[in-house]
Amino acid sequence: MSAAFDRVVVLDFEATCQPGVPPSPQEVIEFPSVLVSLRDRAVLDSFGTFVRPVHHPALSAFCTELTTIRQEDVDAAPVFADVLAAHRAWLEGHDLFDSQGRERFAFVTCGDWDLQTMLPVQCAASGIPIDALPRAYRRWINIKKVFLDAMKKAKTTGMPAMLQALGLDLEGTHHRGIDDCHNIARLALALADRGARFELTGKLAASHYPELPLELQWGDRRERVFLKKRHLATLLGLASGLFRTRIVRALGPDGAAIEDDDPLAELPADARVRVFSARDPST
């Protein structure tokens, strides 16, 4: 999905939980991160704070036992929107975005849950549009996949098992976010020593994005539409039905060809997209 990254930010949410089905909506109660330089083989900094849940403010005994996070920890904590803003400022303070706002790093998670599932659920619960977040929060490296690629004979990818396979001890408390982040960082450094490449392994599914109002232009015709799923095939199919011809190509507002789904995740509302049929000379 991309070139390898030299700097990564390990992220591992802890969230409200209970035996069986989690609370609805489930909410983040710890937001930790660890910044790692894979090139220099070093942990550079860490970020960590508890988060106050607002829909289900009382933690279950099960949650406290699993995470060691106490009721008084979250009662005194800021809400998610404020923590997210502080986290973004922390990333920016480490020069992790270029002058155009493009990320110079990737998040590393232990599994896909944190950014594929938990972040969209939390953003919806907090009234934060998921497509308003920097792209970095919608792409990630699942260290389990890096581990399996580097350790060909490995059969399990639980955090303790991965640490053991690399000759490392579990430090701190498992299921305490900041401790898990430091352990994942140690995994990342050990895998880097073995020559592992840290490339993106996942991105937010199109189903998590809201429908997108667009203006489609074919020749001199312009039509307002709502793109329900941010898939290129959906866009081309919508345009083909609208203009009653087979549309095979699309250009974004910047004139660049839309060749896969990724540019659609970054399109602003009401953007103009030019489309072309199979018979248009420009194709």
Cα diameter, the chain:
67
pLDDT of residue 34: 98
* pLDDT, tens digit, 9 for 90 and up, residues 126-184: 999 999 999 999 999 999 999 999 998 888 899 999 999 999 999 999 999 999 999 99
Give the residue numbers annotated as catalytic, written as ranges.
14, 175
What values do phi and psi take at 83, rounded to 5? -65, -40
- What's the domain range around 145? 7-203
Residues 139 and 250 placed together within one structural domain of the fold: no
Residue 143 in domain: yes
Stretch 253-275: mean pLDDT, rounded?
94
Residue 172 in domain: yes
pLDDT of residue 78: 98
Give the domain CATH number at 262. Answer: 3.10.20.10
Q: How far apart (Å, rounded) are the C-alpha atoms in residues 63 and 28? A: 12
Residue in the structure block whose two tokens are 């866009």: 235
Residues 235 and 172 placed together within one structural domain of the fold: no
* pLDDT, tens digit, 9 for 90 and up, residues 188-241: 999 999 999 999 999 999 889 999 999 999 999 999 999 999 999 999 999 999
Residue 282 in domain: no
Can you say how many angstroms the Cα of residue 252 is from the centroid of all Cα atoms in its chain?
Answer: 23
Angle at alpha carbon of residue 138, lines to 133 and 143, rounded to 5°: 140
Residue in the structure block whose two tokens are 């194709």: 283
pLDDT category, 282, cuts 50, 70, 90? low
pLDDT of residue 215: 97
pLDDT of residue 1: 42
Number of domain units in the chain: 2
CB atoms within 10 A of CB 92: 12
Q: Rounded to the nearest 10 degrees, how much is the dihedral formed by the CA atoms of 112, 118, 124, 130?
A: -30
Q: How far apart (Å, rounded) are the C-alpha atoms in residues 240 and 249? A: 10
Q: How far apart (Å, rounded) are the C-alpha atoms in residues 235 and 61? A: 48
Residues 216 and 270 placed together within one structural domain of the fold: yes
* pLDDT, tens digit, 9 for 90 and up, residues 2-58: 568 999 999 999 999 999 999 999 999 999 999 999 999 999 999 999 999 999 999
Looking at the predicted structure, is the pLDDT value of residue 246 above 50?
Answer: yes
Tell which of 154, 184, 203 closes a domain.
203
Looking at the predicted structure, is the pLDDT value of residue 275 above 60?
Answer: yes
Residue 239 in domain: yes
Residue 213 in domain: yes
Residue 1 in domain: no
